[in-house]
Structure 1
């Protein structure tokens, strides 16, 4: 992965449990992030980090239609966000009604990113570290990320706390994926009081009566939430056509027992009436990078 040193800043932004703003010491290193997509930068050279291998409950999801929607804020969404900014070193965080940070101490904190690429939205996909780069590493170096180094990142910390879900893409090295999957299973078994696993219904089954069911009451894997939120806003709450909707998106993924990729998330979904569930735990699934 590409190592980049810089600073994190949350003032005037809306950080959530898996996205935070980062400004490299030398913004020129954004050009070295691998892949065909380019990092979107602001006037100061900063960009958004989409944290690799994890997915936090949504605090402000745009999707289709007017306005934004969120997942249950008091059942894990705010807990992941607050833990991330605290882990990075921010205190005294004040937010307005739109969840934009209006005050934080200090204004920036030093840290680094280990990046595997950029997503379709121009965000840097990476592992989030605090403080200095590992000894002997400089910005622009290509780093072989070991499990020990992974365990020093916010990505690993949030997953171990059970505050986020694992969500693996094919670009993530297998040795790291195996460790993170084990961490996720341990967190699920522990079901800490503030963890998403305390309320998660992804594989047990969630009865979806309307949009409010998933925005205010039910805790689901964020990827499933986003697909459901868009579907309900487009077609209404009846789930009869939800598998066809997923098939139309054509996302590809791998499961352990099959060598070739499977096309369409409908193969992971079971619907009974208005109850939806995923048939496999998310840590067994590897999504194909687009």
Structure 2
């Protein structure tokens, strides 16, 4: 099954990131609405244009569930996104084909630009190399 490529900005400061969740401002929020839905529709924050993402295949402890493991997972998530004390948001893209029951896209997360020739909204078949 193909995934929809959605470009945007990872903005952890607009929410409460943890080890498997971050807020994302898609360049074209309408792309989120074409994903397969298993429950609620997507909820784009009206104030900042972000939506909470769920990571495909990762289930980390909830924030403050068990310290220091939960805070370590959050810190690692932010490091992998390129977030530092001076860099508070990063460009990237997600590959998603469905929303979870709460309306959050379930995604593979990538920082930087998509591969050459790939554009926002394209259908992408995910390969092991990627």
* Residue 42 (structure 1) aligned with residue 26 (structure 2): no
Cα displacement string for residues 193-249 of structure 1 (whole angstroms, at most 9, x for unaligned residues) = xxxxxxxxxxxxxxxxxxxxxxxxxxxxxxxxxxxxxxxxxxxxxxxxxxxxxxxxx
State the shift of 1:13 in Å.
1.8
Answer whether contact 1:17 1:84 (CA < 8 A) is retained. Answer: yes
Structure 1 residues 36 and 120, CA gap change in structure 2 (3 angstroms): closer
Answer whether contact 2:17 2:74 (CA < 8 A) is retained. Answer: yes
Between structures 1 and 2, the one with greater helix share: 1
State the shift of 1:36 in Å.
4.7
* 2:4 equivalent in structure 1: 2
Cα displacement string for residues 148-187 of structure 1 (whole angstroms, at most 9, x for unaligned residues) = 11xxxxxxxxxxxxxxxxxxxxxxxxxxxxxxxxxxxxxx
Structure-2-length-normalised TM-score: 0.89
* 2:126 equivalent in structure 1: 145
* 2:91 equivalent in structure 1: 110
Specify the SS of the correspondent of 1:4: strand
List aligned pairs for 1:185-200, cutoff 5 A. Answer: none
Q: Choose which of 93, 105, 118 in structure 2 pairs with 1:124.
A: 105
* Residue 89 (structure 1) aligned with residue 82 (structure 2): yes
Once residues 21 and 73 of structure 1 are traced to their aligned partners in structure 2, the CA distance between those partners, rounded to angstroms, is 22
Q: Choose which of 71, 82, 85 in structure 1 pairs with 2:65.
A: 71
Once residues 2 and 138 of structure 1 are traced to their aligned partners in structure 2, the CA distance between those partners, rounded to angstroms, is 10
Between structures 1 and 2, the one with greater strand share: 2
State the shift of 1:58 in Å.
1.5
Structure-1-length-normalised TM-score: 0.42
Aligned residues: 126
The higher-RCO structure (CA 8 Å, 6+ apart) is 2
Cα displacement string for residues 244-282 of structure 1 (whole angstroms, at most 9, x for unaligned residues) = xxxxxxxxxxxxxxxxxxxxxxxxxxxxxxxxxxxxxxx
State the shift of 1:144 in Å.
0.3
User: Which is higher, the Rg of structure 1 or of structure 2?
Assistant: 1
Once residues 6 and 12 of structure 1 are traced to their aligned partners in structure 2, the CA distance between those partners, rounded to angstroms, is 14
State the shift of 1:12 in Å.
3.9
Once residues 36 and 13 of structure 1 are traced to their aligned partners in structure 2, the CA distance between those partners, rounded to angstroms, is 23
State the shift of 1:121 in Å.
1.0
